[in-house]
Amino acid sequence: MSFAAPRAALTGLAALAALVTLPMTGCISAPPAPLDAAQSAHQLTARSLQDPEVVEALAKAGLPAMQPGGRTWTLDALTIAAWMLRPEVAVAAADLSTSSAAQRVASELPNPSLSLGPGYVVRNANHNVSPWILTTALGFTVETGGKRGIRTAQARATTQSLRWAFAETLWRTRQDVRRTLLERELAQLAMTLAEQDATLRARYADWIDTQIRFGAATQPDRLAAQTSLAQSQAQLRTAGGDLNAADAALAAALGVVGENLPLAQLVAVDLDALPDPNATPQATWRGWSVINRLSVNHALADYQVAEQDLRMAVARQYPDIAFGPGYSFDKGDGIINLGLGVTLPLFHGERAQIDQALALRQKAARQFEVVQAQALAEIDSALVRYRASHAAWQQSRDAEAAAATAAMGAQRRLTLGAADRGELLTAQSAALVARRATLDALRTAVAALSAMEDGVQRPVWPASSLTIEQGPAACCGTRP
């Protein structure tokens, strides 16, 4: 018995081996990217608003260049910095980049397949015939029903949905920066008022001590003044803690540690310039909310994804065709054949998958309506709250002005000898109480205005020169 394969069979095997190894010559190996917890923590703590990527992004956004004395950090500049430094923005950008790559993959044609099936006849009756059997086949897949185009449309719709998700991430980052910046300014005002209150109450306690020496006040008066002073000092310490917490919150919103926050270079927002709630009609607010809001567009993009999924489920009713030439070497005979194959729907068709896709599309449509209805309810509620809080803030400002006028009148009477120092201190304390009431009303109005911004997902106040498109352009070169 001869175990040697004929020369033709060996030549065929060599050719097939070359075909199998040919695609491997163009393989790309993934570079190693180890993660080190200590190194990552060091990089996070070392981040600052002066990092090169932040400076480059600010230049792309057209914001002022670095000044000799240091950059003046406006809300827009801080927003750009947060877009470049916050890790969740980088994750959203990576999702979008991955989807863009998947879109390119979806448009590719299926690769052909190569099968090889060598065999050996153990009991060979004809000893003069080679016992070797060799079967090879090259298979090509023809996608029917427009599946390749639908698959590409699926990937494109998914990318569009992720673009809107990325835009929402940018918006949330901007709102975090805005909220914490305003909270810090309000905390600074509260700190200033607490310091003034502690100073006035200390002066009043000194005046009571003087009055006691002259017999014009009693020990209960001193006890009341000292108790009031102690409460004021406690409020001062609380205000200091609130200011420190606001600094830390702003640093976290920017993606830096507290010691890298340039507090001296922050540009204050004009808190006395809240917009008139009646300047823009309610219909305009509603239009911004239910049509232009980012989450509404995101829900609409999700519906388009469900629509493409349904198209693919319908297209799968048409089976793909597999064909390709083959070669068989059987006991010395060389045979060339052509294979053709399709999937037979013997056990199930695509009806169940189509029904599932229809249900998912219906769910996406209902979800879109939910997002629109929620946006409409949020903007109506926020507008009512802002109108009420804005009116209360205006009333508080009027009361503060009246209290300030009364304090100035007490000062004039003291100068003319018609009032004593205690009356002036009491009037000044009343004016300070009025300023605190105005600050509380301002804080409520700012919170209501923030809710309005979230309702339309676009800057309302303070005015901004940024657009959400600048975030994708700076981070990954795309726009929603």
In three-state form (DSSP H/G/I as H, E/B as E, the rest C), the secondary structure along 357-410 is HHHHHHHHHHHHHHHHHHHHHHHHHHHHHHHHHHHHHHHHHHHHHHHHHHHHHH
| pLDDT tens track for 386-441 | 999 999 999 999 999 999 999 999 999 999 988 889 999 999 999 999 999 999 99
Amino acid at position 389, single letter? S
Residue 124 has a pLDDT of 65
Task: Tell me: pLDDT of 44 over 70.
Answer: yes
Cβ atoms of 354 and 314 closer than 8 Å: yes
Please compute the mean of the pLDDT values over residues 274-301 and round it to a whole number.
Answer: 93
- For the entire predicted model, the pTM comes to 0.84
**Residue 125: CB partners within 8 Å, gap ≥ 6?**
none
**Residue 375: CB partners within 8 Å, gap ≥ 6?**
289, 290, 293, 295, 296, 455
What are the strands, taking DSSP E only, across 176-320? Answer: none
Residue 71 has a pLDDT of 67
Please compute the mean of the pLDDT values over residues 135-147 and round it to a whole number.
Answer: 89
Q: Closest by alpha carbon to 47, among 208, 256, 329?
A: 256
Residue 1 has a pLDDT of 35
Q: Kindly tell me the sign of the dihedral angle through the C-alpha atoms of 59, 62, 67, 71.
A: negative
Which segment of 105-119, 231-245, 308-322 scores lowest on mean pLDDT?
105-119
pLDDT band at 164 (very low <50, low <70, confident <90, very high): very high
Torsion of the alpha carbons at 462, 465, 471 and 472, rounded to the nearest 10: 140
Amino acid at position 370, single letter? V
Structural domains of the chain, with CATH: 51-119+147-320+351-475 (1.20.1600.10)
pLDDT band at 8 (very low <50, low <70, confident <90, very high): very low
CA separation for the pair 153, 156 (Å, rounded): 5
355 token code pair: 């029904």
Helix (H, G, I), strand (E, B) or coil at 323: strand
Q: Closest by alpha carbon to 375, among 465, 305, 276, 300?
A: 300
| pLDDT tens track for 181-212 | 999 999 999 999 999 999 999 999 999 999 99
Q: Closest by alpha carbon to 222, among 236, 210, 234?
A: 210
The number of CA neighbours under 13 Å toward the Cβ of 162 is 22
**In degrees, to the nearest 5, what angle opens at C-alpha 288 toward C-alphas 287 and 292?**
110
Q: Kindly tell me the sign of the dihedral angle through the C-alpha atoms of 389, 390, 394, 397.
A: positive
Using the CB atoms, write b or e for 314-330: b if 16+ within 10 Å: bbbeeeeebebebbebe
CA separation for the pair 388, 448 (Å, rounded): 9
